[in-house]
Chain A
Amino acid sequence: MKKTNVTIEEVRRLAALSALEFSEEELQAFVPEFENILELVDQVKNCDVSDVEVQYSSHKLSQLRSDIAKDSLPQEEILLNSPKTKKGSFCVPKMLD
C-alpha cells in the first residue's frame, strides 16, 4: 500500500486545530513520525466494510432524564480552580468584541 505523505503544512494546520505551539524542529520531526503512525492506522483502509452500518447505542425517548432543576454548585466552588476570577466570573484578558 502507498504510504500516506504528510506535509509540513499539514502538520502546521493540525497544530493550529490543536491549539498547540511547536518549535520549527518539533514541527519537522512530526512529519516522519506521523508518516509512521499513519502506516499503522492506514491498515484500516484495507478492510472492506462496505456492508457494515454503524450501530448507535441508543435509548428510548421515554427513558431520558425528567426536566427537574436541582441545586447548582456554589459560585465559589465553581471558581475554585480558576487561574483568574473577577466579580464572580472567570476572567481572561480583554477580547475584541
Chain B
Amino acid sequence: MQLEKFSYDNKIVKMFAYATILWGIVGFIVGLLAALQLVFPAMNFNMAETSYGRVRPLHTNAAIFAFVGNGIFMGVYYSLQRLCKARMWSDGLSKFHFWGWQTIIVAAAVTLLAGFTQGKEYAELEWPIDIAIAVVWVVFGINMMMTIIKRRESHLYVAIWFYIATWVTVAMLHIVNSGAIPLHFMKSYSIYAGMQDALVQWWYGHNAVAFFLTTPYLGLMYYFLPKAANRPIYSYRLSIIHFWALIFIYIWAGPHHLLYTSLPDWAQSLGVVFSIMLIFPSWGGMINGLFTLRGAWDKVREDPVLKFMVVAVTAYGMATFEGPMLSLKNVNAISHYTDWTVAHVHIGTLGWNGFLTFGVLYWIIPKIFQTKMFSTKLMNAHFWIGTLGILFYAIPLYWAGWTQSIMWKTFTADGILQYNFLETVTHILPMYALRAFGGFLYLIGALIMVYNIIKTVQQGSLLDNEDAEAAPRPAMAAIDEKYKGAHWHRWIERRPIQLLVLSLVLVSIGGLVQIVPAFLVKSNVPTIESVQPYTPLELHGRDIYIKDGCYNCHSQMIRPFRDEVARYGDYSKAGEFVYDHPFQWGSKRTGPDLHRVGGKYPDSWHYYHMIDPQSMAPGSIMPAYPWYVTKEINVDLTPRMIRVMQRLGVPYPEGYEDQAIDDLMEQANAIAANLKEQTGEEVLPTSEMVAIIAYLQRLGTDVRKEAPRAAQEEETE
C-alpha cells in the first residue's frame, strides 16, 4: 500500500493562536474597564465613545467573537487536519478566513464605540458587518467541509461532528436574527418587532452560547483532552448520545431568557422544559471529559495543561447545572435582571471557554514551535491566579444578585416598598469592586501567559509545514462493503454532508416550532387599540437610546410581580411593543426598568439627570450624557425613517413622510419651550436631549390613554 506524503499547515494555527491571545487580552481589559465603570462612574470619561452602554457590548463581542472565535478557529485548524489526515483544503481560503475575521473584529470595535448598533445583545453589529460575517463564515465552512471531503481517514471523529453542527447552526442563527432593513450605510431596523423580535433574538442569543461558546469547545475538548492526557475519551458511546441530544435540545431553550415577560406562556413553558432536559446531555459531556482522566489524576497534579482543562470541564458542568436551575420559573423570578446571571455566564466564559483556551494554547504552542513551554512555574502561577480571579469574580456577584433581588422584593409592614431602586444599587457596590478585582486577577494571569508564550516562541522555531503521511482513503463503496450490516450511524459517521444536513434538520425543529406560531397566531399578541406608532421625534429619541446602549442597564419589561408593579407600574403586555423595531426589553437591571417611565418625572428632571445623573440621584452610577445638549439629530433623515417603518408594517398614514418633519419640529419646540420654562435654559429643539426626552416621556403611556372612539364602539358592538 502506497502512503501519501503531505503536510499540516501550522502557520495558520499559529496566526489564530496569536489572534486569540491578542483579542483575549483586549477583551479582558475592556471587561475590566466596564466593571470599574460600575464602581467609579467617572471612568465613563464623559464621552459617548467610552460610556458603559457602548463599552459593555464591545466587551461581550470581543470576548465571544474575537477571543473565543479565534480560539475555535485555532483549535479547529489544528485538530481537523490531524483528524482528517489532510492539510486544510485551501491555504488561500485559510488566509482569507483569518484576515477577514480580524478585519471584522476591528470594524466591530470601531463601530460599536462609535455608536453604530442594531441594539440586540451579542448581535449588535450593523448590517454591512453582518454581511461580512456571513461571507467569512461561509468561506470557513467551505474550507472545512472540503478538507473533510478530501480526508484520508474514513471515519469522522466526534469532534468533527461538533464542528459541523457548529458551523451550520451559527450560519442559520446569524442569518435569521440579523434580518433588518437598512436606513443608511450604518443604521438599520430589525424586521421583527416586539415580542417576536424578542423570541428570535433570544433564540439567537441563547444559541450563540450553545453553538459558539459550547459545541465548538466541546469538539476541542474531545480532541485536546485525550491528547493532553494521552488516553482515549472515556466513553465514545456517551459522546454519540451527548452530541445528538445536545444539539437537538439546546435550540429549544431560548425562551428561558424571557420568563414572566410578555412572551406567550406556551413558549415560556417549552423553554423551561427543554432547559431542564439539557442537564443530561451537558453532564454527559462533562462526565465524559472528567472520566477520561480516571486513573490519571497523578498527571493532573503535574501537568498545568490538564489542570486548566479539568477546571474548564468542571466549570462547564457547574454552568450547565446552574443554567437549567435558573430556567425554573420560581428561581428565575429571583435571578433574572440581577448580577446572578452575569456571574453565571462568567463561570462559563472565564472557566469553560477561557481555561480550555489557555489549556489548548499551552498544548499547541510548544508542539508547533518544536519545544517545551518556557516555564511550568509560570503556567502554574497563571492557573492559580486565574482560578482565584474566577472565584473573586463570581462569588461577590452571586451575593450581589441575591441581595439586590431580595431588596427589590422587600415590603415594609405597611405594605410599601422598603427600598428605592438606588439604595439596592449602592448597597452592592462593594461587591462590584470585588468583582473588578477578580477580573483584574484574571487579566494578570493572562498577561503571565503572554510572557511565557513569547519566551517559548523565542526559544523554539515554528514548524510551518509539518510533514505527515497516510494511506489514501479507500473508495466509499469499499468501506460500505466492509461495514455491511453495521449500524446506520456508522454510515453517517463517514458522510459529512449528510451529517451537516441532519444536524440542520434537528436544530431547525426547535426554532420552527417556537417561532412560526409566534408569528402566525394572532392570540399571541393581543391587540391594544390605544397603542400608536412613535412620533418622528420619538423615533429619533429611540435611535439615541439604542445608539448609547441604554438597554445594557435598563429593561423595558415589567414582570407581573407585586414588587415590580408597585415600583414601575402596570405589568407589560405584548401588544404594547408591536411597533418596537427592534425590541428593547433588556436583560439586566443595573438601573431601574424604564417601560413606564413616561410621565413619571418632569422634562426638567430628565434634562438635569442626563447632564449629571448624580445631581438628581445622589450615588447613582449612571454615566453622564452632557453632549445631548449640544449634539443634534439629523432631521433630514426623518422621511426616510418613516418610509422604512412603513415597509416594516408600522401603520403611518400614506404620505406621512412629507408631514413628518413638521410634526417633529412642533413636538420638539414644545419640549424645548417646556425645558426653558422649567430650567431657564435655552435648549436647541433639534438637540439629542429633546429627542431622548420625547422618547422617554412616551414610554409605556399608550395604555393609559383612552382607546380611540372607533375601537371602543367596535368593542361594545
On whether the two chains bind one another, the answer is: no
Using CB atoms and an 8 Å cutoff, list the residues of chain A in contact with chain B.
Answer: none
